[in-house]
């Protein structure tokens, strides 16, 4: 009984121990199951957060602009005369009203409170016949054409000081060429139309009287011992009738003059030689029966915005014609109204403009993006004067109701549209529409070019050439390693290739840019020779190996045949590069690069897609090889043994059984490798010229989405259009890889279902 009781006690203890162990094991299983689920959900959550963050940064560039009235008030100092011109400084605090009595009234833009009133130094008894802004517009220069043939140039400026934390802006007037009026027409004829460009060393004034058009140039000359500079004057006349001229513009470079006639024609005149102006072009810029009702330079003075009586605004830009000479050509147009466009006011820092029609309708547009941003009525009839603030975030205008209106404008990102990012755009000074990415320049007049098409093209081009190198090498290597290679040799080969994946891509890019690119440029023919010589060398060695004595061949262990090919490949490659230069000289009478250029018209850039394909292919090989080799090696042995038992050869078994069964894994390997190539940054950053060109040639460079983000993100201003477009590029890259990987997973599952019955 005692023994039975002990046995039962021991059994109970064993049972209790087993039960406790089972509970602990089940608890660990439950914990790990929840941990795995939590980890998977965390990855999904992180991806979703990344997506919505990118979307959050990007979406403001597609928001519509808005404009709202902030204040309206009676005309400040109405007795100072009728308003000829309005101005506002960049802080939107002080505005100015230039009147027909030679008065300048400075007032608070939001309240209308008069701050100061100044008189322009005009001769007694003369009238103001014309007024015009200088070029560039942002300098604040104004010219008055007088009834006695004289002109006065005045500049309104604003000094900013700080009284503690309070900003104080003090307006003032300056006379760049002195307070004494300039005599333009010595006969005393009234200056009916006038335009000018004032610079540091020279000033050009173009004035139209009833009978002629005069070009007057003033050059500053500093004497050797004198303290003051003297003005050297040059006069010339245009040999064309002045009676029908309705408007005049001079560009900021003081080279081009544009005259508008009442018959709708535009004359383009070269005035770079002041004493010999030359008419370059005379053309009609409006439809028959229409008249030019407004004219203005777009920012940079490379384009003219022409408004006509039909409500159409067209952009005419200087481009090179078939004879490589500058000529005006219409590159786009905007239908802004059914009424005549009576005023065009261009932005001072972007390629946008404001239009006002005869019915009091106001519209804000961007030329490059071809976007209509705002269209609002600002009155029942045409306003007396309109001005857009230097930062394009405020609008001041005077209506016929006797009031000044101050509007706030919210228009942060007008440069971007679906067309400007994905379609060809005709940029200023370009001969035709094109896909261009050029986000910045040293000039403030620069026209941003945000086309993502060349970046997407470069991304796909780099990935294509990388996969062209990586897929054959990695798949053939995986097939041989998993199916034909000796297990002992596989133990060394597979880890050796996989450890290549740990090599930093910045090192690969560094080597590709500083060593591989110059080497390929110098030995281009050797690289192509190697593609022929190495296979021939391998085939010849294989034939020679088959003819060796049986006893010698049996000394090589089965599956180690690949090892003896290594020196063969190295010697064949060395031989290919050794004969390349003599072969190049004999066949092409020079270098292969020069032959490509002269005979085929194919240029050669040292850092090109060929270099990227080799370097990036080397980086992608470990990924594709490892996954493919595992998929092939994991094919059940009974399938291969059964195939061989039925009489199939090893190659037939490989092609018709093993590859089909492993195809889901192989496809996944290729897709993962492709995703790696699409997202690669450092190699393409260092091994290409980073030129966003769309050229399929393997000898030309490219710029990818990832490399572009890496290069330009540190330089972009936070929340600027450039900054948000870069995030849009990241979103495009994210969506591309997400959609592509999703489709790849669907295909992989279909392949698994199809061949699971094998």
User: Confidence band (pLDDT; 50, 70, 90) for 3?
Assistant: low
- What own/partner pairs with CB < 8 Å and gap ≥ 24 does 373-380 have? 373/64, 373/65, 373/411, 373/414, 374/64, 374/65, 374/66, 374/67, 374/409, 374/411, 375/336, 376/67, 378/405, 378/407
Whether the predicted pLDDT of 242 surpasses 80: no
- Asked if the model's pLDDT at residue 224 lies above 70, the reply is no
Question: What's the rounded Cα separation, in Å, for the pair 122 and 183?
Answer: 12
DSSP 8-state assignment for residue 303: E
For residue range 612-653, what is the model confidence (pLDDT) as tens digits? Answer: 989 998 889 998 999 888 888 888 888 888 888 888 888 888
Rounded mean pLDDT, 731-749:
84
Q: What dihedral do alpha carbons 721, 724, 728, 729 form, nearest 10°?
A: 80
Residues found in the chain: 758
Q: Which CATH number fits domain 122-284: 3.20.20.140, 2.130.10.10, 3.30.365.10, 2.40.50.140?
A: 2.130.10.10
In the chain, what is the greatest distance between 2 CA atoms, to the nearest angstrom?
A: 146
pLDDT tens-digit series, residues 526-557:
888 888 888 888 888 888 888 878 777 777 77
Q: Is 80 helix (H, G, I), strand (E, B) or coil?
A: helix
- For the stretch 413-455, pLDDT in tens is 888 888 899 999 999 888 889 999 988 776 767 888 999 999 9
Mean pLDDT of 55-82: 89
- What is the model's pLDDT at position 675? 86
Q: According to the model, what pLDDT value does residue 452 have?
A: 92
Q: What is the pLDDT of residues 387-414, one digit of tens each?
A: 999 888 899 999 888 889 999 999 888 8
| 209 close to 241: Cβ distance less than 8 angstroms | no
What integer pLDDT is reported at residue 714 of this predicted model?
86
Per residue in 355-378, pLDDT (tens digit) is 999 888 899 999 998 888 989 888
> How many Cα atoms within 13 Å fall on the side-chain side of residue 268?
18
Record the pTM.
0.85
Residue 88's SS3 state is: strand
Residue 87 CA to residue 555 CA, distance in Å, equals 96
- Distance between CA atoms of residues 457 and 445, nearest Å: 28
Q: Helix, strand, or coil here: 366? A: strand
Q: Which residues contact 309 (CB under 8 A, 6 or more apart)?
A: 286, 290, 291, 293, 340
What is the three-state SS of 106-137? Answer: EEECCCCCEEEEEECCCCCCCCEEEEEECCCH
Does residue 226 carry a pLDDT above 60? Answer: no
Whose CA is closest to 641, among 653, 630, 629, 631? 653
Strands (E), 124-185: 128-133, 141-146, 150-163, 166-174, 182-183
Calpha distance 330→323 (Å, rounded): 18
Q: Pick from 330, 267, 265: which is nearest to 303 by CA?
A: 330
Question: d(Cα 556, Cα 537) in Å, to the nearest integer?
Answer: 20
**296 beta partners:** 305
Supply the CATH classification number for the domain 459-755: 1.10.3720
pLDDT at 17: 67
> Is residue 121 scored above 90 in pLDDT?
no
């Amino acid at each position: 009984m005692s023994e039975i009781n002990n046995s039962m006690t021991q059994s109970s203890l064993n049972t209790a121990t087993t039960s406790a162990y089972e509970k602990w094991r089940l608890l660990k299983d439950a914990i790990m199951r929840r941990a795995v689920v939590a980890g998977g959900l965390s990855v999904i959550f992180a991806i979703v957060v990344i997506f919505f963050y990118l979307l959050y940064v990007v979406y403001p560039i597609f928001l519509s602009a808005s404009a709202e009235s902030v204040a309206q008030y009676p005309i400040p100092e109405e007795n100072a005369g009728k308003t000829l011109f309005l101005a506002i400084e960049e802080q939107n605090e002080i505005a100015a009203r230039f009147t027909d009595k030679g008065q300048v009234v400075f007032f608070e833009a939001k309240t209308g409170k008069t701050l100061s009133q100044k008189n322009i130094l005009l001769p007694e008894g003369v009238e103001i016949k014309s007024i015009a802004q200088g070029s560039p517009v942002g300098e604040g220069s104004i010219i008055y054409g007088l009834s006695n043939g004289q002109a006065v140039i005045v500049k309104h400026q604003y000094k900013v000081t700080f009284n503690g934390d309070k900003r104080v802006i003090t307006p003032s007037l300056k006379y760049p060429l002195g307070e004494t009026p300039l005599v333009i027409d010595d006969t005393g004829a009234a200056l009916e139309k006038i335009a000018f460009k004032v610079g540091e060393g020279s000033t050009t004034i173009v004035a139209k009287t009833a009978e002629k058009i005069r070009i007057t140039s003033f050059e500053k000359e500093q004497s050797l011992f004198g303290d003051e500079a003297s003005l050297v004057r040059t006069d010339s006349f245009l040999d064309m009738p002045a009676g029908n001229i309705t408007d005049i513009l001079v560009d900021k470079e003081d080279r081009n003059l544009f005259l508008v006639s009442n018959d709708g024609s535009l004359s383009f005149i070269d005035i770079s030689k002041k004493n010999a102006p030359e008419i370059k072009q005379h053309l009609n810029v409006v439809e028959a029966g229409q008249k030019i009702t407004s004219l203005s330079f777009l920012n940079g003075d490379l384009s003219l915005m022409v408004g006509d009586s039909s409500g159409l605004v067209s952009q005419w830009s200087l481009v090179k014609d078939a004879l490589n000479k500058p000529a005006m050509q219409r590159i786009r147009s905007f239908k802004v109204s059914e009424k005549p466009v009576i005023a065009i006011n261009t932005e001072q820092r972007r390629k946008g403009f404001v239009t006002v029609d005869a019915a009091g309708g106001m519209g804000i547009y961007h030329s490059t993006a071809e976007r209509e941003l705002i269209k609002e009525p600002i009155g029942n009839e045409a306003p007396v004067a309109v001005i857009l603030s230097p930062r394009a975030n405020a609008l001041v205008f005077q209506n016929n109701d006797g009031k000044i209106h101050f509007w706030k404008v919210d228009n942060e990102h007008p440069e971007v549209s679906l067309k400007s990012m994905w379609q060809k755009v005709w940029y200023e000074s370009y001969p035709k529409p094109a896909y261009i990415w050029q986000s910045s320049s040293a000039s403030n007049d620069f026209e941003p070019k945000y086309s993502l098409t060349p970046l997407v093209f470069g991304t796909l081009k780099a990935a294509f050439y990388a996969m062209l190198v990586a897929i054959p090498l990695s798949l053939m290597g995986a097939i041989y390693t998993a199916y034909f290679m000796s297990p002992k040799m596989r133990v060394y080969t597979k880890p050796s290739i996989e450890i290549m994946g740990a090599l930093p891509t910045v090192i690969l890019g560094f080597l590709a840019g500083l060593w591989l690119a110059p080497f390929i440029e110098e030995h281009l023919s050797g690289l192509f020779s190697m593609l022929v010589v190495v296979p021939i060398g391998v085939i010849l060695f294989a034939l020679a190996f088959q003819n060796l004595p049986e006893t010698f061949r049996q000394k090589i262990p089965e599956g180690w045949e690949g090892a003896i090919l290594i020196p063969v490949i190295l010697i064949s490659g060395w031989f290919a590069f050794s004969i390349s230069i003599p072969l190049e000289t004999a066949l092409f009478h020079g270098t292969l690069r020069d032959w490509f250029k002269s005979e085929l018209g194919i240029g050669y850039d040292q850092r090109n897609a060929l270099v990227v394909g080799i370097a990036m292919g080397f980086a992608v090989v470990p990924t594709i090889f490892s996954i493919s080799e595992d998929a092939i090696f994991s094919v059940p042995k009974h399938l291969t043994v059964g195939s061989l038992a039925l009489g199939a050869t090893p190659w037939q078994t490989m092609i018709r059984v093993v590859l089909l069964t492993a195809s889901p894994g192989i496809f996944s390997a290729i897709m993962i490798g492709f995703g790696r190539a699409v997202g690669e940054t450092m190699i393409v950053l260092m091994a290409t010229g980073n030129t966003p060109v769309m050229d399929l040639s393997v000898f030309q460079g490219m710029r990818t989405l990832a490399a572009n983000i890496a290069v330009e993100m540190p330089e972009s201003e936070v929340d600027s259009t450039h900054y948000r477009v870069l995030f849009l590029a990241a979103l495009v890259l994210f969506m591309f890889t997400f959609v592509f990987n999703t489709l790849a997973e669907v295909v992989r599952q279909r392949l698994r279902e199809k061949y699971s019955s094998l």
